[in-house]
Every structure is written in C-alpha cells, then in structure tokens.
Chains A and B, each alone.
Chain A
Amino acid sequence: MRSLIKLAAICAALGGAVFWWLTAPPALLPVYGQGHDADVTRGAQIFTAAGCASCHSAPNAEGNDAKLVLAGGHSFASDFGTFYAPNISPGDQGIGGWSLPEFARAVTKGVSPEGRHYYPAFPYTSYQHMDETDVADLFAYMQTLPPSDTASQRHDVGFPFNIRRGLGLWKLVFMKPDYLLAGPLSPELERGRYLVETLSHCAECHTPRNALGGLDRTAWLAGAPNPSGKGEIPNITSGGLDWSEEDLIYYFESGLTPDYDSVGGSMAAVVSNLAQLPESDRAAIAAYLKAVPAAP
C-alpha cells in the first residue's frame, strides 16, 4: 500500500514536471529585426491591415483620431468567459517601456513581457506569421500614438480556463505553424494569404472552432456561429459566396454587396480598414478567397 502511494506521488510529480516543461512560454529573442530601420509609415499600414484599433480602441470611440487611442475595454463574449481588450497604447498602462523583442514575442507568440501566456482572443495564432520587419515597423508606429492611462480590465474567465499555464498546452495542440493555403503561389496569392491568414486574421471569426476554441482547419473560412449568440458569420469561400473578384474588391472598398445591401456589425470596422489599404491588397484578398478550397 505504501509503495502504491509512493508510486502515485512519483507519477504526479513527473506529470507535473512534464506539464510545466511542455507549457513553458518561449524565451525572449535577444535580437529582433536587426539591421532594419523601422518605417513608421509602413507601420501605420500594417496597423490598419491588422485591425488593431478595431478591438483595442475604447468601446465608445468615434472618429479616426479617437480610435487611435488604444485604451482597450471592448468585451468579447465566448464559451469560456468574457475577454476584455487591454490597453496597448504607448503609456504606462499599455506597451510603454516594452522592448521590441518583448513586443514581438507578445504579438507572434502570445506571451506577455512577464512570460505569461495570452488568451487566443488575441489573434497571435494568425500573427505568428508576421515578418520581422513588419513587426518592427508596427512597433515603431504604435510609439507615435497618444498614450492612455486607462487600466486594463481583468478577463472574466472561470476555472479551469483561468490557469494561464494551460494555454501552453492549447498552443501546442491548436497553434498550427503552417499556412492553410499551401504554396507554390503567385506573388499576388502570397500577398493575399499574408493578408487573410496573418494580418487581417479573417479565419479567427470566419472559421468554426472546436469545443476547446481551436480553429477547425478542415472548414477553413466556412462560416461559424456568431459568438455574440445572435446570427451566423458567413462562409466566405466560393462554396458559400458566389461573388466575383470584382464584387469582393468593390465590397472591401465601399462596404456594398453585389445586391447593394451594406456591410454591418463587426465587419463594418474591418471594411473601414480594408478601404484604407492599396487597391492591390484588396485584389490580393479577393484572389485568395477564390483560391482557397470551397467549403459547403
């Protein structure tokens, strides 16, 4: 009996050690974006394509200037609890004082400067593919934005999802390191893939999730229930959307569908961002959506 207890204790300790080892956040890269002169203008465009302000501005912010104060506070309901977008302005409550390697690890690995895992409500599973130079430019641009002293709100997440270390396991299982649309691709499709799968993180809403919140990559962009509980987020593969590439490009620019209904809800903010990108980027996204496997 005593040896059985001993065995159980050893197994538990071993299991704990393995869990600890598996879920350890990746270390900081000491060198990042070396030899690159950060370009603030390019950074502004990355910021727009990535839709940072759509989630991180204050919920009641209206107008372009107000939306650049990244005070946080938008709430995101989910099956696991409610997440609140944090302050990411360049002030004490936000990312003021962060180094570029800390910022890069946060954005592309989902780990805070203190070494804690972020919840994947922050789309780092998409941002993981961001180019080093893009991250560096984005970081430089964000330093130019006005600081906000609004404190970030705590997420309202219950047990066991409130154990951050568990997110390390989640990442091991669900943070797939490869693109869904496999190469070789034309330069336009490559750009489209970078925009759709990385910067604009379209799959985060348009792809259904499993019971643990991982994306179901077999139904890529095939539509999903709206986490708000009302309505559906549409299938945007050619299996669900019969718009031409011109229709898509026009929609990204004007917000008007081929039958002259208009964009609404959360997608309205996305279209506001896409409308500010170069025409070639909107065309690249449209080309990607035509190339991605059609889902029923």
Chain B
Amino acid sequence: MNFLTKATLVIGMSTAIIASAALADGHAKENPAVAARQHQMQMIGYSIGILGAVAKGEMEYDAAMVSGAASNLATLASMDRATLWIEGTEQGAVDGSRAKAEIWSDPDGFAEKFSALGDAATALVGAADAAAVGAGMGSLGGACKACHETYRGPKN
C-alpha cells in the first residue's frame, strides 16, 4: 500500500466517523415534542394497519382486534394537543418535523380534522365483519388524507 492510498483511506475513514457522529448528534437533538408526535402517528398507523389488513382480507376478522384497533384510534385522535403540538416546532424550524405552520394559524381547522378521525374510528368499534370494516375504511382514509393535505408538509 503506497502513501497515497493510505492517506486516502485515512481521510475516508475519518470523514465517515465525523459524519456518523454528526448524524448521531442530530438524532440526539431531535425535538422531544416532534418525536412524541411521530410516535403518536406510528400508533395511529399501526391501528389503521390492522383495520386495513382485515378490510383487504390479509388478516382474518377478529372482533377483539378490530374493536381494539378502532377504540385505540379514537383515543389517539383525542389526545390533548397542548403538550404535543407546541408552537415553533413546524417544518423548517426543527429537524424532522413536517408540521405546517397552518396548524398554529388555524387551530380550529386542525382540531376539526382530528375529531373527524375520532368519529371515523368510533364508527368502526364493534364492526361485525370484514365487509363492515371495509365500508368504514373510506372515511378513515379520508380523515387522514384531509388533514395531511392541509397540515403536513412534503417529505424532505
């Protein structure tokens, strides 16, 4: 190995180390409210996933799973927003956020979208079979879409 290859290797490795350190650092500094919101969204996605899989026939209908997913969804939609949607945590202001500033300029509209999700979820509690779940998926997906259309920014 000549000097030049060695030098390149060393420079390459140190760049990688610095880069990963910077990445880890960026992760550590993630805004806790943003992280909590993303976990809330993950829980929402998980519950909708159960309902969607039943509707699509990928998962066998199970009353406890369907009603559990629907009522968890309703709970998630009703979570108090004061501790989660903290002003100044919009996209561009903090890392990782895709929340649009409209959330804070139009809080009533934003609240309405969450209550639409709650209503769509509540309607699915006790859905008697896969067809009934499928019939409710439209308004559930519609609730997600309506909010994300207005209040979520594009992927970075």
**Which residues from chain A sit less than 8 Å from chain B, CB to CB?**
226, 228, 230-234, 246, 250, 254-256, 259-265, 268-269, 271-272
**Per-position contact with A for B44-84: 1 when CB-CB < 8 Å, else 0?**
01101100100010000000000000000000000000000
Contact of A263 among B48, B52, B148 (CB under 8 A): B148
The answer to whether A260 touches B154, judged by C-beta atoms less than 8 angstroms apart, is no
**A261 contacts which chain B residues (CB < 8 A)?**
45
The answer to whether A268 touches B145, judged by C-beta atoms less than 8 angstroms apart, is yes
Query: Please, which residue of chain A has its CB at the minimum distance from the CB of B45?
Result: A260
**B45 contacts which chain A residues (CB < 8 A)?**
259-261
Query: Please, which residue of chain A has its CB at the minimum distance from the CB of B148?
Result: A264
Asked whether A231 and B155 contact (CB < 8 A) given A254-B137, A259-B49, the answer is yes
B122 at the interface (CB under 8 A from A): no
24 A–B contacts, CB within 8 A, in A order: A230-B92, A230-B153, A231-B154, A231-B156, A234-B155, A254-B52, A254-B138, A255-B141, A256-B141, A256-B144, A259-B49, A260-B48, A261-B45, A262-B145, A263-B144, A263-B145, A264-B149, A264-B152, A264-B154, A265-B148, A265-B152, A268-B145, A268-B148, A268-B149
The answer to whether A232 touches B154, judged by C-beta atoms less than 8 angstroms apart, is yes
Query: Please, which residue of chain A has its CB at the minimum distance from the CB of B154?
Result: A231
Query: Please, which residue of chain A has its CB at the minimum distance from the CB of B152?
Result: A264
The answer to whether B49 touches A264, judged by C-beta atoms less than 8 angstroms apart, is no
Inter-chain CA distance A269–B149, complex, in Å, is 8
Inter-chain CA distance A256–B142, complex, in Å, is 9
**Per-position contact with A for B113-156: 1 when CB-CB < 8 Å, else 0?**
00000000000000000000000011001101110110011111
Task: Tell me the smallest distance from the CB of A141 to a CB of chain B, in Å.
Answer: 25
**Which residues from chain B sit less than 8 Å from chain A, CB to CB?**
45-46, 48-49, 52, 56, 91-92, 137-138, 141-142, 144-146, 148-149, 152-156
Query: Please, which residue of chain A has its CB at the minimum distance from the CB of B137?
Result: A254
**A234 contacts which chain B residues (CB < 8 A)?**
155
Number of A-B residue pairs with CB-CB distance less than 8 Å in the complex they form: 64
Given pairs A234-B155, A255-B144, A264-B154, 17 additional interface contacts (CB within 8 A): A228-B154, A230-B154, A246-B56, A254-B141, A255-B142, A255-B145, A259-B49, A260-B46, A260-B52, A263-B144, A263-B149, A264-B145, A264-B148, A264-B152, A265-B152, A265-B154, A271-B145
Inter-chain CA distance A265–B137, complex, in Å, is 20
Query: Please, which residue of chain B has its CB at the minimum distance from the CB of A264?
Result: B148
**B138 contacts which chain A residues (CB < 8 A)?**
254
Inter-chain CA distance A255–B146, complex, in Å, is 10
Asked whether A231 and B153 contact (CB < 8 A) given A262-B148, A272-B145, the answer is yes
Task: Tell me the smallest distance from the CB of B106 to a CB of chain A, in Å.
Answer: 11
**A230 contacts which chain B residues (CB < 8 A)?**
91-92, 153-154, 156
Inter-chain CA distance A292–B60, complex, in Å, is 35
Task: Tell me the smallest distance from the CB of A55 to a CB of chain B, in Å.
Answer: 14
Query: Please, which residue of chain B has its CB at the minimum distance from the CB of A261?
Result: B45
**B46 contacts which chain A residues (CB < 8 A)?**
260
Query: Please, which residue of chain A has its CB at the minimum distance from the CB of B51?
Result: A260
**B142 contacts which chain A residues (CB < 8 A)?**
255
Query: Please, which residue of chain B has its CB at the minimum distance from the CB of A228?
Result: B154
**B137 contacts which chain A residues (CB < 8 A)?**
254, 256
Most buried by B among A230, A261, A262: A262
Asked whether A262 and B154 contact (CB < 8 A) given A254-B137, A256-B48, the answer is no
Inter-chain CA distance A261–B145, complex, in Å, is 9
Task: Tell me the smallest distance from the CB of A180 to a CB of chain B, in Å.
Answer: 25
Task: Tell me the smallest distance from the CB of B67 to a CB of chain A, in Å.
Answer: 18
Inter-chain CA distance A85–B44, complex, in Å, is 36
**A268 contacts which chain B residues (CB < 8 A)?**
145-146, 148-149
**B146 contacts which chain A residues (CB < 8 A)?**
268
Task: Tell me the smallest distance from the CB of B51 to a CB of chain A, in Å.
Answer: 9
**A233 contacts which chain B residues (CB < 8 A)?**
154
The answer to whether A262 touches B144, judged by C-beta atoms less than 8 angstroms apart, is yes
